[in-house]
Amino acid sequence: MDYEAALDASLQRLHDEGRYRTFIDIERRKGHYPQAVWRRPDGTERDITVWCGNDYLGMGQHPEVLAAMHEALDATGAGSGGTRNISGTTVYHKRLEAELADLHGKEAALVFSSAYIANDATLSTLRTIFPGLIIYSDALNHASMIEGVRRGGGAKRIFRHNDVAHLRELLEADDPAAPKLIAFESIYSMDGDFGPIREICDLAQEFGALTYIDEVHAVGMYGPRGAGVAERDGQMHRIDIINATLAKAYGVFGGYIAASARMVDAIRSYAPGFDLHHLAAARRRGRCRCLRPHPQDRAAPARRPATPCPDPEDAAQGAGPADHRPWQPHRARPCGQPGPLQDAVGHAAGTVWNLRPADQFPDRSARHRTPALHALAGA
């Protein structure tokens, strides 16, 4: 086989389909969020505003959070000494997991290196714990949830997006004695709508099913303590397993699940792939503690009017150089209604180039973009 030719052909297919990934080299500057510097391939630099970032509140640059990481580094050094299964579980992991469990009103939590891995590992492992498990998955669930459902094998049912009536039909058609789990999201970021949490929980209670919710776009942003949409809607206690991320509103990377102590213990004991560096754990705990006492920080973006994405040559719109006010790049609306993907705070600034999701795929045709990306890319 001509391996080089096969590689060339595979890459060319991505170009032809408009799916080739182009990385844009940027450097964020502390105190100037969401502005950054774009380093072009020819070595030149240009100031930009990053409209497609996930650090919704600028917490990746918050002084209290950075101080927590420096404290851990100075106290213990740069390495954890091994995986968590051997010698790598530190006091920072345990403190973070306790903080996250308390945030969601659960008995326990388990951190992973990303929310993607948390979804994949947890959903696939549940098949081992509950033989014969049937998973009911929303048609627009994130790829990480789809991968977990598929990799675990076993029966699955896909219900139309946010269609509670269709979900009921699927539940009614299956054996009442079979173990069941309904997997869905609180905010579907690519479509900009909320999941019907209360209605799904009602069905789960009626049919004896477990509930699994992905709150990655909601933690830190919604609810009195920033625990997500389920907290905001008073439904958090009805969710059996909550998945969320530390890489968006909390500002760095990593993911986790929160559930009962027994559920978390079973996932911890059976699931592959859970691990997180102790410095990351220290910094994330700093974020959780920093955001929870200040609901006004999460509410502030809602008071600002939504605006279309500015033209690439327009004046920048975003937080000022030393402004730590939260900035929210997207807002969901009730089921089925796309929401604006960014808000403006309208400070005076010079002309900059705006980095948007579509710019990461320069050869992507319009047909490959979701309506949400159309709005953000101005296409």
Secondary element (H or E) of residue 76? helix 63-76
297: its two tokens? 């920080």
CA angle 81, 82, 86 (to 5 degrees): 120
Q: Directed axis angle between helix 63-76 and helix 278-291, to 10°?
A: 150
User: What's the CA gap between 378 and 361, in Å, rounded?
Assistant: 14
Whether residue 20 contacts residue 363, with contact meaning beta carbons closer than 8 Å, is answered with yes
287: its two tokens? 């974020």
DSSP state of 106: -
Whether residue 79 contacts residue 66, with contact meaning beta carbons closer than 8 Å, is answered with no
Whether residue 322 contacts residue 31, with contact meaning beta carbons closer than 8 Å, is answered with yes
Amino acid at 335: C
Chain-centroid distance of CA 312 in Å reads 26
Catalytic residue check, 106: no
Amino acid at 138: D
Of 30, 106, 180, 248, which residue is the catalytic one? 248
Secondary structure E strands in 29-178: 35-39, 45-50, 108-112, 134-138, 156-159
From 194, 193, 191, select the one nearest 371 (Cα to Cα): 191
DSSP state of 238: G
- Mind telling me the catalytic residues? 248
